Amino acid sequence: MKIVVDHDSGYVPVGYILYPVDDNGEWYPRTHPNLLIESDWDYLLLASIYGYVPCTNGCTDGSVDCRCTGKTSTDMIAEAIEILNTNLGVIVESDIYAYQLREA
Ligand SMILES: [Zn+2]
């Protein structure tokens, strides 16, 4: 399914909002269904829809430090936030959150 990540401090002070995109490629801020992603740890998975990979060797999903590069979990969360902030409003194809969005 097509989805999009947005940030809206008037709606969710800290975190991101995930919206489904309709068949016409449209999405509407503050409408339901949506998913609020408010935990730092969840930013790692959320950023993966925009291609973020914490470790290209697969040694970590970002929740523990990377043995290959020495990056800490905090570093990787910061990277995920940067990816998310540079992709706000960018529509992507991903089924990672399809179940949760259908239930939202
Ligand atoms: Zn690694």
Domain holding 6, by residue range, is: 2-103
Cα 55 to ligand 1 centre (Å): 4
Ligand 1 centre distance from Cα of residue 25 (Å): 36
Cα(12) to ligand 1 centroid in Å equals 32
**Ligand 1: centre distance to CA 49 (Å):** 19
* Whole-number CA gyration radius for the chain: 14
Q: Residue 103's pLDDT is what?
A: 87
Specify the DSSP element, H or E, that contains 74.
helix 73-86
Question: Are the C-beta atoms of residues 18 and 3 closer than 8 Å to each other?
Answer: yes
| Percent helix, percent strand, percent coil in the chain, to nearest 5 | 30, 15, 55
pTM to 2 decimal places: 0.93
Q: Digits of tens for pLDDT over the chain (104 positions)?
A: 999 999 999 999 999 999 999 999 999 999 999 999 999 999 999 999 999 999 999 999 999 999 999 999 999 999 999 999 999 999 999 999 999 998 88
The count of domains in the chain is 1
Give the pLDDT confidence score for residue 104 in this predicted structure.
82
pLDDT value of residue 88 = 97
